[in-house]
Chains A and B, each alone.
Chain A
Amino acid sequence: MQIFYTFILLFSFWLLLSGKFDAFHLTLGLLSSLLVSFMSADLLFHDQGKSDSRRCRELWRFILYLPWLCKEIIVSTVHVAYLALHPGMRKLLEPQVIRFHTRIKSEIGQVVFANSITLTPGTITIQVEDGEFIVHALNSKFAEGLPGEMEERLLRIFGEVE
């Protein structure tokens, strides 16, 4: 089944990139995506233990999470612009390094969490090790906001018990 999913993904990618729909190019794409999906399906679907329905639910909830992340990115860009152009910028900054443990267990969840922290205003992930996050925050207001709402949201996406 994993081979089939990988094949569908690769073949649609081929169609997209080639943009040619004649028999010759379609056959080439079909053959090469079949070959690659046979060789490397287990790279894309790393965690073999998950059921298909769970994968779909996670993907769907992750898609629902994206609009919120986009909003946060816009807020954070405006915030950086505000700080950069503010004449008394150094007064507003109070950088600090904080550490905390996350309740997110799955690896992919932690990766998404780290990237989301980096993209949201005022905070940037320095390191993640065994669930311990080291985060650099621009001032204490942002430091207090962690882990906070984002972790709750990601727990709802990736925190499903087997």
Chain B
Amino acid sequence: MIDFLVVVLFVIGLLSFFSTTIGILRFPDFYSRMHAAGKGDVFSSVALLLGLVVYHFHHPSLGGTLVAIKILMISLFIFLASPTATHAIISAGFNSGVAPWTKGKSPEEHK
């Protein structure tokens, strides 16, 4: 049962990492690529980390539980850091005047 849950979480995490990567490669411009990079990231790494936390329940022990809590703290950190990093990168791009892709129409707004 535990193994099944772990495998499911890992597969979910890997699949969403896969589609995130495909998204980064396929999206048309800098901004929409950041959509893929900034979002897919959080969920997939949290799913992988949760898989590790569940795996620890095979041999519950004090040390193992501490490690599990530490892993949860890492996912909390990713939760905070990933949107912030996305924000920093995209804001730098915006400030240096990267034009957004607008499907061939004239761009309405960029510096």
Contacts and interface: CB of A to CB of B under 8 A. Distances in A.
Interface of A: 16-17, 19, 73-74, 76-77, 80-81, 83-85, 89-90, 93-97, 114-115, 118-119, 121-122, 124-127, 134, 136, 138
Interface residues of B, number: 42
A74 B62 CA distance: 31
B39 A85 contact: no
Contacts of B34: 124, 136
Top-5 shortest CB links A-B: A84-B23, A81-B19, A118-B83, A77-B43, A115-B83
B20 A115 contact: no
Interface of B: 15-16, 19-20, 22-23, 26-29, 31-32, 34-36, 38-40, 42-44, 62-63, 66, 69-70, 73, 80, 83-84, 86-87, 90-91, 94, 100-103, 108-110
A95 B110 CA distance: 12
The prevalent SS among residues of B at the interface is helix
B70 A81 contact: no
Contact of B90 (A80, A115, A119, A124): A124
A136 B31 contact: yes
A83 B32 CA distance: 11
Given A16-B70, A97-B109, A80 B44 contact: no
A74 B40 CA distance: 9
B23 A83 contact: yes
Given A85-B22, A126-B91, A80 B103 contact: no
Given A80-B40, A125-B87, A134-B94, A96 B26 contact: no
